[in-house]
Structure 1
Amino acid sequence: MVSQWCREHEIELPKPVQDIDEQLVTNADRGCLNSLLEKMSSSLSDQKAAAKQLRLLTKRSSSFRALFGESTETIPQLLNPLSPGQVDAHPDLQEDLITTLLNLSIHDNNKRLVAENASVIRLLIESLEYGTVQTKSNAAATFFTLSAIDSNKITIGASGAIKPLIDLLDVGHPLAMKDVASAVFSLCTVLENKERAINAGAVGVILIKIMDHVLVAELLVILAMLSNHQRAVQEMCELGAVPCLIGITRESDCERNKENCVAILYTICFADRTKLKEIKEEEMARGTFSRLVQTGTSRAKRKARGILERLNRTGAITHTA
């Protein structure tokens, strides 16, 4: 996922092994980095010029990104112009610095360095709430790249970042939604963050977007992940998820979407017996789940078969596929 994101945003991934030439570039760039960081404590015009240069250098050069990992002081120096509570005072400067932070987080050796700095997480959260659309998108993308490390997922979740991510998903700006969805998905691969996402209203927000045909594939993956939580399933049932999921299962051309829908419906079958009637009616009228047993992915076949067996055991249908 990180590799795909980097390709889409034209960011060079760090090479597995740095050769001698790259090491020479690193040594040559060290003075340049120190000079640019010093300008972060200078005039506003110097800060803005240096921020643009740092954004460019950290996008182009993996060796330059690696330089930031040599000292714990580099990140605080970089973010010095962004005062808590006034992070959006200069939107162009904020965007450049948050984007630089995103570029830095691509480098594996920087992920803990960035995430373990409490001020970084706070500034990223404020940038999700206050900033240009591009800044919001890049703040979400930074959370996504940082969450490649499990310990960072816990840190980010505990910091309160999930609620503003869900809120930004709810706003639904096309330029930011994919990065937000990627961040929410990655963070919710740990149990604690699933609970936080559900508390933040993730189920309702995601269902509305899916019903509006927005980022259906990406959001179905998150919904399927949350569906092993009883309260999430209860909310899905209350919000009319079953007919929506049945419709996608029946009509979608995307096998992955069908798979995620039938996985959620399988969970619902066991969590809420009252929904069996809707599922039974679909099967009896169109044979949707019987057909999926024959044509779906291996996981979809398994879940569809489980639904049919559940219906059969409860007397809801008189046949299985």
Structure 2
Amino acid sequence: MESESTHPDGEETPRTISAVDQTLLLIHSDDPSSQIHAAQEIRRLTKTSHRFRRHFSSAVPPLVLMLRSSSPSATEAALLALLNLAVKDETNKVCIVNAGALEPIISFLQPGSSNLQDHATASLLTLSASSVNKPIIGASGAIPLLVEILRHGSPQSKADAVLALYNLSTYSDNLSLILEAEPIPPLVDLLKTCKKSSKTAEKCTALMESLVGFDEGRTALTSEEGGVLAVVEVLESGSLQSREHAVGTLLTMCQTDRCKYREPILKEGVIPGLLELTVQGTPKSQSKAQTLLRLLRNSPYPRSELEPDTLENIVCNLISQIEDKDQSGKAKQMLSEMVQVSMEQSLRHLQQRALVCTPGDLPIASCASEVSSK
């Protein structure tokens, strides 16, 4: 007799497959209560299983039809089932959009949709991860509603909206649509309140970095009270990836119009954070931080041979321009620490080099012996 439990290798037993078939029959039936029960079962089974997401792909059309039901229970059950079907499944993501799910999902984004707004935002976040869906969602009218959720949504829906907008922004034609919805003020508000090392802060700054590539984005950020400061705070205490996007945002602004944006960036006390990035950031962050430091001093061009264009000289020049004593003192301390870290790194590098043997240093037999003993 065959076992009715799951086999050790993860394959479904006859009982499990029978349950799948039964659920599919119910979701395709004309009985509303049976459909709701089936949608709830699909949601449960697809929560953690990619295999079940494949099995239930044929349930997408009836679930999309349920989204248009007048029954709140039916729409919620269908929306949650579709959300789980789309997670980590590119084929289902595309099928859900092609089946016409966007129109009802977008209607749930409207104010007053209560808990459906949160579920709809999460659904759009998942669907927008598909490169095929990005232009379709951008053209659907969802972007202004996602930005509105940034302003007035629940904490979770705001976080999901940022990630959805970031996903959509990676399709270049969507960037102008995002800018038209004026997202900078709510993005700044979110940056001020969220944990600086969070995924939300990371996607906020990533989206900001793309938006300041446009004049409207740069103007909006500097016009927003505390806008540049919010980016500087992420640069100082965000995750490595967030800090990379934050310094990229400021660098883009300064490279575009140094005369216009140099002072707004300097006055927010950016120097200590930039100094730390030059030695502790990602390789991209280090390079961007050094470039930005050069652009922030009085003259971005190399000076005479009497004052070499070293990072230390650049920073000393910048510190002399800072009128705020607290900022100046902090910058000097950071410079001292940066030099110390740099010296320690250089010493370790020299020690490592001294331990490395090359054919020119020792006989071949000795070299082989050193390598094999590692």
How far 1:203 moved relative to its partner? 1.6
Partner of residue 94, structure 2: 112
What corresponds to 1:132 in structure 2?
A: 114
Deviates more, 1:174-183 or 1:195-204: 174-183
Other-structure match for 1:232:
217
TM-score, normalised via structure 1 length: 0.77
The answer to whether residue 21 in structure 2 is matched with residue 28 in structure 1 is no
The residue number in structure 2 matching 1:147 is: 128
Corresponding position: 1:96 with 2:88: no
Give the 4+ runs in structure 1 shifted more than 4 A: 23-27, 285-288, 315-319
Asked whether the equivalents of residues 280 and 316 of structure 1 are also in contact (C-alpha less than 8 Å), the reply is no
Q: CA RMSD in A?
A: 3.0
Q: Which amino acid aligns with 1:36?
A: L
Match of 1:76 in 2: 61
Alignment of 1:139-218 (within 5 A): 139-213=120-194, 215-218=200-203
Partners of 1:165 and 1:65 lie apart in 2 by 27
Relative to 1, partners in 2 of residues 1:150 and 1:248: Cα closer, same or farther, differing over 3 Å?
closer
Distance 1:61 1:310, change over 3 A: closer
Moved more, 151-160 or 222-231: 222-231
**Structure-2 separation of matches of 1:23 and 1:182:** 38
Alignment check: 8 A CA contact 1:311 1:317 kept: no
1:37–1:78 Cα contact (<8 Å) kept:
yes
Alignment partners' CA distance in 1, 2:302 and 2:273 = 13
One-letter amino acid of the counterpart of residue 202, structure 1:
P
Q: Deviations over 1:62-86 (max 9, x none)?
A: 333213435xxx4332233332xxx
Contact 1:157/1:193 (8 A) holds in 2? yes
**Higher RCO (Cα < 8 Å, 6 or more apart):** 1
**Aligned equivalents of 1:277, 1:80: Cα separation in 2:** 56
Q: 1:200 to 1:23 in 2, by over 3 A?
A: farther
Identical amino acids, percent of aligned pairs: 25
Q: Which amino acid in 1 is paired with 2:206? A: V
Superposition TM-score, scaled by structure 2 size? 0.67
Change (3 A) 1:148 1:211: closer
3-state SS, counterpart of residue 79 of structure 1 = helix
| Structure 1 residue runs without a partner (length 5+) | 1-18
**What secondary structure, in the 3-state scheme, does the structure 1 residue paired with 2:46 have?**
helix
Per the TM alignment, residue 229 of structure 1 is displaced from its structure 2 partner at its CA by 2.8
8 A contact 1:259–1:299 mirrored in 2: yes
The 8 Å contact of residues 91 and 132 in structure 1, kept in 2 or not, is answered as no
**Higher helix residue share:** 1
CA contact (8 A) 2:118 2:157 kept: yes
Does 2:246 correspond to 1:261?
yes
Shift of 1:287: 4.6
Question: Quick one: structure 1 residues 235 and 108, their matched pair in 2 at CA, closer, same or farther if it must change by over 3 Å?
Answer: same
Equivalent-residue separation in structure 1 for 2:273 and 2:268 (angstroms): 7
Distance 1:23 1:194 in 2: 48
Pairwise CA distance, 1:105: 1.0
- What CA deviation, in whole Å up to 9, does each residue of 1:217-257 have, x standing for no partner? 3322221232323321221122242233234434x264433
- What CA distance in whole angstroms lies between the structure 2 residues aligned with 1:80 and 1:114? 11
> Which aligned pairs between 1:296-315 and structure 2 lie closer than 5 A?
296-312=281-297, 314=299
The whole-number CA distance in structure 2 between the counterparts of 1:48 and 1:92 is 7
